Structure formats: C-alpha cells, structure tokens
Amino acid sequence: MQKTKIYSAKKIYTMNPCRPIVSHVAVKEGKILGAGSLEELASWGEFDLDDTFNEKVIMPGFVEGHAHTMEGTLWRKVYLGWFDRTDPSGKTWPGLKSINEIIERLSAAEKELSNEDLPLSGWSIDPIYMDNQRISRQALDQVSRTRPIGVLHASGHILNVNSKGLELAGLLKKGINHPGIPIGNDGYPTGELYGPDAMTPVGKHVGFDRSMTDCDEQGLRDYARLCVRAGVTTCTDLAARLTEESVSMMLRVTGEANFPACIVPLKVFFGMSPKDLVEFVKEIQTLSTERLRLGRIKAVLDGSIQGFSARLNWPGYFNGSPNGLWYTSPEQLLELYSLALENNLQIHTHTNGDQATQLAIETLEAVLKVHPSFDHRFTLQHCQLASTAQFRKMSKLGMCVNLFANHHYYWGDEHYRLTVGPERAERMNACRTALDANVNMAIHSDAPITPLAPLFTAWCAVNRLTVSERVQGEHEKISIEEAMFAITLGAAYTLHMDHEIGSIEIGKRADFAILEDDPFEAKPVDLKNIAVWGTVQSGRIFEADNLS
C-alpha cells in the first residue's frame, strides 16, 4: 500500500468553502486524503512530509472545458498567426503582420521539404487583422503550383488552399454551386473553403486529414506538455472524430505511466446519423479510464463571428455581410437531443451567433418536455452573443455555458469595428450576466484557436481588455474569485466531473496547479503574468521545465 505524502505550501486554495485556504494537503494512492494543517493530517498515520512546494501556491488543477488536442499535431506544421506563440518545447514563434510575411514563411518551409509529394500545411492565419484581405489560391500558388498547400484559419472554420489542392480534390473547375465554396471572377473557386462540408474533402490533400479535428500519437503527447505548462490537469478534446483507431491510440498514449493529464474527448456530430452516433458513443463510453473519459457528444450549429460564418439574429452583421452557415439543421439537432436525453448522454453545442443559441435553447426546451432530465448539464460552447433573456432561459432549463473569454481580447476590437458593432461587442462573452442569471459557467481558450492558458483566460474575463488595451464591456467584468471558480469547479461541473476534480478536498483526485505567485492577491491586470511551475496529476509531479 502506498505511503501517505503530505505537501506543504506557502498557501493552498482549495475551492472548498468549508476550508478555503490551508497550509498542507495529504495525498495517498493518487487521491486527496485531506487538506488542512499538518497536525490535522498527521492524525491519519505514518506519512512523508514533502516541502517541494514550500514556496509555491497550490490550486486545484485547472480544467480546460473547451480545447482541441489537435494543437499538439499542428505544431509540426507552419505557424502563421498574427500573435507571438509558444510551442510545446517552449520556443516562441513571432507573429506575422502581412500576407507577404505569410507567403515568405511558407516559402521558406516549402524549401525544406525534400519529398515533392508532401503537402505544405500552415495554421492560424487571420485576415481580419489585415483589413480582411483574403488569401486566394493565386497567392498560395506563389509558394508552389505543384505542391498542395493548405492553411487553416485561426477560427478553425475556414481553410485556404492553392490550385493544386483544389485540383487533387476535383474542385479546380467551373460550375461549382456550394455555399461553403466561394467563386472568383474567373468562375473558379477562390481557394477559400467554409465549414466541414467544404473543408473535409480538400483537407486530406493538403495535410489536414486528421489534424483538422484530431491529434495523432506524437501530437497528443506534445499537447499534454502544453497542459503542464498551463497548469491544466483535465482537458477536453471538443470535436474529436473518435474513430476506433483514434480511440485505441488515445487509450494507449494516455495509459502511459508519464502521461500528465486526463483527456475528455467529445465525439463530433459529423458524418453519422444521430442514431448511429448515439449508439457509437454509448459503446465507447464503457472504455473510459482515469485518464481518458469517453461518452460525450459535440454538436456544431454555426461557424465563427470573425469569419462571418456564425448565425446572427436580426440585424445581422454590422458590415452588411450575409448571414453565416448552419452546420447542423434544426431537424438533425432535434433528433440528436432527443436520442441523447433518452440515453442519458450529455451534449455540448457550439453556438457563436445568437440565432444559433436560440435554436439550441428552443430545441432543448421542446425535447425536455418529452424526456425530462433533472441533471442533463447540456452546455452551450462559446455562446458569444447570447442576450440576457437567453441566459435567463438557459438557467430555467438547467443548461450550462462555457464562454470564450479569450476571444474578447483577440478579436474584441474587430467585433466593435466590423462584425457586430459597438452595442453587441460590449455584451459579448457576458460572464457577469451568465452568473447573475444563475447559469453555471466555465470560460475557455478553444486552443489552438487561442493559446491554452487558464490564467490568461481568467485575466480576460476579469479585465475585459481588447488587444488595443481598451476596456470593452465594463459591466460584464467578473471578480478574480469568480474567474478562478470558472477554470476549476465551474468547468468540472460542465463535464459532470465536479465530484472528482475542481477542488482540493477529501476523496477527490490529487490534481493540482503549482503556481509561483498568488492569483487571489494579484492585481487584476497582473493575473496573466503569474508563472506556472507545473502540475500534480493523480499524485504524480510534473515540472514544466523538466518534461521528458
């Protein structure tokens, strides 16, 4: 039997209201034996006292309720984002500020590819920062006309490809009529593809077959390293294909002795009927382990606001762009919600625009009348433009919400100026309104859309600053305490895992974020600067600067 280990710390925040701050925590067999004073914990019997964290601050391990492990795989492609970004090894890549810089980095990467048949893949481009200039197939043809090239937008909802990529997919021709495939003045596709229906057939030719939604084996290990650097001990993979092959791979990798996180992948509703999807998810749910939790579904109703593919209520987009795309029809959603509730399965639903949010609310309300459920915890993900009335309705229906706090920083200025206008931009990602309406709330990064960093996410929700350092939506700010709850117990609740993780209390998994400073005593503006030493996951210690 494993001996009890008691850790001391400068301060331990438990998120347990009966004893919120303690000096020591006892761990045995990967679980929390108790939290309190050394004298109290010593009464459990023989123990070893460990002062590794004596000068650190311990919090419950952070829970990232909306991210994608594909970021681990994407880092083996060419980073093309506007902002500087750190990879799993700790190297920081400078952001690119023009289409010319994007073409230059792609051209340099293309010269390093020895095999002429290999595709060239890049990720995280964001035209909205470049006066919304589009990257056409002709622009990518400057890099190569013979090698297939694909670059994924930061939103993950748009893919740009060159002529060779279109040719291999059979789309370099006139006469195409598809809402996700814009046509140029020459009658041919522009090379910009919107939504999974248009992106998926081309993605496999330009290096985005698996990594558009899934990671591979190396990618999963690399992503777990990012988790440690961010203090994350439990992380979702919120749009995984979860084939039999990928489930087998994830079981194997997460089962490795030194894998440092619990991954919670959700099977995305795409390419299967609702009935087949529910049956498949029920089947794989039985395969769940301590570090791989299966058995949840992700539905996607619309696209992204900055990509103008989200579904907005009247009056629509501020700049007059046409309304976005429905990725799931109302009929499909109704059938999926019905079958899921009938089979006691949870669904997380992507809704960026308020019209998509309304569809999800109305559909669940109708289904609950037929299949009542008192603890379904259906969660709306992003839910960026939800109104006060919509939050009140969510509360009545027992829904949860996971708001995209990071989005406000990265795209807030552009939403104010271009996509939705001042009034709606100031209410986006309305954390204060959600909490005041008694909606259980988490906040998230949507990595790789923005970097995985829960303390930064908390900073975004607390300060409501845009990239131009302008406060946008003063009335929607929340406190540091509320933000810390959202990235621990709040997120755990949305996953039906709050009985296991999210707080430091007896019987729960020994998952801790080890911090260099105290977030509760920090000035709100300094919250994002608190360094993460590493994590403890199921009682195993992982130091960020010493990862194998």
Provide the percentage of residues in the chain whose pLDDT is more than 70. 99
* pLDDT given for residue 32 in this prediction: 98
Q: What is the pLDDT of residues 332-349, one digit of tens each?
A: 999 999 999 999 999 999
Stretch 15-41: mean pLDDT = 98
Beta-strand (E) ranges in 14-148?
Answer: 21-28, 31-36, 47-50, 57-60, 62-64, 78-79, 85-86, 92-93, 120-125
* pLDDT given for residue 155 in this prediction: 87
Residue type, 250: M
Residue type, 468: S
Separation CA 126–CA 135 (nearest Å) = 10
Concatenated DSSP letters for 475-521?
GG---HHHHHHIIIIIHHHHTT-TTTSSS--TTSB--EEEESS-TTT
Stretch 448-461: mean pLDDT = 97
Q: Phi and psi for 361 in degrees, rounded to 5?
A: -65, -50
CA torsion sign for 54, 59, 62, 63 is positive
Separation CA 179–CA 198 (nearest Å) = 9
Enumerate residues 6+ apart whose C-beta is below 8 A from 276: none
Give residue 210's pLDDT band: very low, low, confident or very high (50, 70, 90): low
Stretch 369-381: mean pLDDT = 97
217-230 and 244-254 helices, crossing angle to 10°: 50
**CA distances in angstroms from 42 to 26, 33, 251, 398, listed in the order given:** 9, 11, 37, 42
Candidates 376, 500, 520, 495; CA nearest to 442 is 495
H-helix or E-strand containing 390? Answer: helix 388-397
Give residue 491's pLDDT band: very low, low, confident or very high (50, 70, 90): very high
Counting Cβ atoms within 10 Å, is residue 140 exposed (0-12), middle (13-18) or buried (19+)?
buried
* pLDDT given for residue 74 in this prediction: 93
Is it the case that residue 490 has pLDDT exceeding 80? yes
* pLDDT given for residue 151 in this prediction: 97
Provide the percentage of residues in the chain whose pLDDT is more than 90. 93
Q: Phi and psi for 535 in degrees, rounded to 5?
A: -140, 165
CA torsion sign for 222, 226, 229, 233 is negative
Give the rounded distance of the alpha carbon of 189 from its chain centre. Answer: 31
Give residue 283's pLDDT band: very low, low, confident or very high (50, 70, 90): very high
Enumerate residues 6+ apart whose C-beta is below 8 A from 436: none
Give residue 519's pLDDT band: very low, low, confident or very high (50, 70, 90): very high
Separation CA 32–CA 34 (nearest Å) = 5
Separation CA 307–CA 411 (nearest Å) = 11
Stretch 48-61: mean pLDDT = 98
Is it the case that residue 211 has pLDDT exceeding 60? no
* Mean pLDDT computed over every residue of the chain: 96
Q: Are 493 and 33 a contacting pair, CB within 8 Å?
A: no
Stretch 382-406: mean pLDDT = 98
* Structural domains in the chain plus CATH codes: 78-203 (3.10.310.70), 217-535 (3.20.20.140)
* pLDDT given for residue 236 in this prediction: 98
